Structure 1
Amino acid sequence: MTWSEMQPLLEQASWDTLYMVGWSTVIAIVGGLPLGILLVLTDKGGLLQNTVLNKVIGQIVNVARSMPFIILMVALMGFTRSITGTTIGREAAIVPLAIGAIPFFARLVETAVREVDGGLVEAVQSMGGNTWTVVRKVLVPESLPSLISSTTTTIVALIGYSAMAGTVGAGGLGDIAIRYGYQRFETELMWITVAILAVVISLIQFVGDYAARGLHRRGGQSGAAPRLRLLKARAPANSGATGTESPAAEAPAADVSKVA
């Protein structure tokens, strides 16, 4: 097979892979981020402690994560057909890819959020902040570098999943490698496909690591943590002032809005 014959195949396969991985990543973030945060909030000692709910969600996530992706695709064929009308093609592949990635990303989010300093959560609570304020002002911003790294890991995993999806007619680079590289003995095309996947994964990993390091440095210099500690330090002094009890009681609630 000549390069002029390979080029259109590789271009279409690369676009199909990016399409599947892109949409699956978006769905995984939308579904996995709140799920991971909920696992932290409902855990023992969490802001919304609920042991039963936490164990139920945790078991569902564990079972979904432990299932091999190729088996998950087969198990979800009926569900996929009910949504997309077919079980082959890139649109159909997005369904199992997203469902497989949501619990994976949720566990990564849970790990990232647990790393946030508990003192910052207490600082917001002492200033009258509710659970939503804690999540929006502390948990997500302070864990953002780790969340970026988690997203990068998820994208890389989804690229591998998409290659497996290609074996059952989903298209993409995995499909090219199997149909042409393996079944038709086009070894050169197969290795070109492998090289493209390696380059794409390396670029994604580099961009993700660079963004995570940049956010980490920025957070250390001008993030919410220093302001929260400063506001918490001022709160006791204000509350102990004589003759100004009413304004002091209102000050902490107003101070929460300054943390951003």
Structure 2
Amino acid sequence: MGRSLGPQAVAQCRALLAGEQEPVANTLAPAASDCAYGSDPRHRLDLYWQGAGGQGARPVVLFVHGGGFVLGDKGGAGEHWPNAHIGRWAARSGWLGAVMNYRLAPGHVWPAGSEDVALAVAWLRANVAAYGGDPERIVLLGTSAGSVHIAGYLRLCPDHAAQVRAAAMLSGIYGFTPLADRDELYYGSQEFYADRMPREAVVETDLPLFLACARFDPQRFQTEWVELMQARLERHGTLPWAHYANWHNHYTLAMHIGTRDTALAGALLSFFAEHT
């Protein structure tokens, strides 16, 4: 498949992984669907957990999907497994999985996505205990544009370390490379780009971070990963948790979580467990 992006590549990746993901999608339904965390129709999230109660409050994984700022959905059953599969993976791992929608460009521009992450976190902190989750043990996981929105949340909310325990960001864009034309739908023109990117926030934060990219990510995403790792090393004197997926591309990096390939999933669970 190479490094290509677009609908054809997405379809190929979905077909490659459907054999493992669809059966789980057909057997593990959301425990709570379309929970409204805000006033917009896109302000909805689904909750997944598995097993009986009585084992104490579960830590919570909030997943923020990708889609180039303009598309994406929290997913569902059967062939609509992408993105919902992260909630199911979290549930099967003994956690409470939350998978959110957020407002999309061009109808909603910067910083709408990051504001929505903040709203979803606030809703979980106020409500997740009623579903068996621990509001004091929330971690964030995002891919592509979802990673960007998580990084933007770190910028928008100076008290983020009091709200969540850790954040994992897969193949994100943080401001180390030039603005791509398609990103103008969310960020506006080049003149606004430097001021609106979360680069400094994601470098400076003391919140534990996990950073990942894939060998078949486009060069821009790899450059962002390398530059952010270097900036974190210079700022903090040590590298963060990280993962380089040799056998994956931009889409399968998140899509394969929950399959027999557990290298990334296992590292994520170890990272989250260390900080919850």
Ranked by relative contact order (alpha carbons within 8 Å, sequence separation 6 or more), the top structure is: 1
Normalization by structure 2: what TM-score?
A: 0.24
- Pick the structure with more helix per residue: 1
Bigger-Rg structure (1/2): 1
- Pick the structure with more strand per residue: 2
